[in-house]
Amino acid sequence: MTTKQQSGARTGAAKANPTLGAQDALSLLIADHREVADMFEQFKNLGDRATASKQKLVQKICKALLIHTQIEEEILYPIVKDDVKGEEDQVDEAYVEHAAAKDLIRQLQDMSPDEDLYDAKVNVLSEEIEHHVDEEENEMFPAIRKSKLDLDVLGQELAQRKQELQATL
């Protein structure tokens, strides 16, 4: 979806898709946040010699983060920036935080777990994501909840795009 297309969340137009679970947009995004946090916790519990497990888990983390950032950037952030008063700066900061995370993801995708700084980069990525999630959930999401956006329709849009991306990445 381009930013020029009008979201059903803005118009209130319901887009029924029975294959997607009925979950409002913020619940879907929060579930993604918890899933990634759990994976980072699993990483921290792996031993130094678990290189194959580390690499597999980091690949899952990176894929989940890339999908999550893409659905937020394509669908959520343009709507929030246009339709939720006072959140423009928060959205701009979120884009910058995503860019920093994607840079670390690229670095990790080009590394192996036995290289110097691999664990440090995963830990920094984890900390950056934790900070980003805290700001979204405690600042941006409450403002979105108070807005007139149809979070159920927006949730369907996010879920559909997420499903598309999972099939292609």
Please report the pLDDT score of residue 8 as a whole number. 60
Please report the pLDDT score of residue 48 as a whole number. 85
Residue with tokens 């980003």: 132
Residue with tokens 């709507």: 79
CA dihedral 161, 66, 167, 119 (to 10 degrees): -150
Instruction: Single out the residue of 139, 127, 158 nearest to residue 27, CA to CA.
Output: 158
Please report the pLDDT score of residue 15 as a whole number. 45
Structure tokens at 161: 């795009």
Residue 136 DSSP label:
I
Tens-level pLDDT at each residue, the chain (169 residues): 333 345 666 555 444 444 445 689 999 999 999 999 999 999 999 988 899 999 999 999 999 999 999 999 999 999 999 999 999 999 999 999 999 999 999 999 999 999 999 999 999 999 999 999 999 999 999 999 999 999 999 999 999 999 999 999 8
Task: List, in order, residues 6 or more apart from 36 with CB less than 8 Å away.
Answer: 61, 64, 65, 68, 129
Please report the pLDDT score of residue 169 as a whole number. 84
* Structure confidence by residue, pLDDT tens digits, 47-60: 888 999 999 999 99
Structure tokens at 151: 């979070």
d(CA 169, CA 162): 10
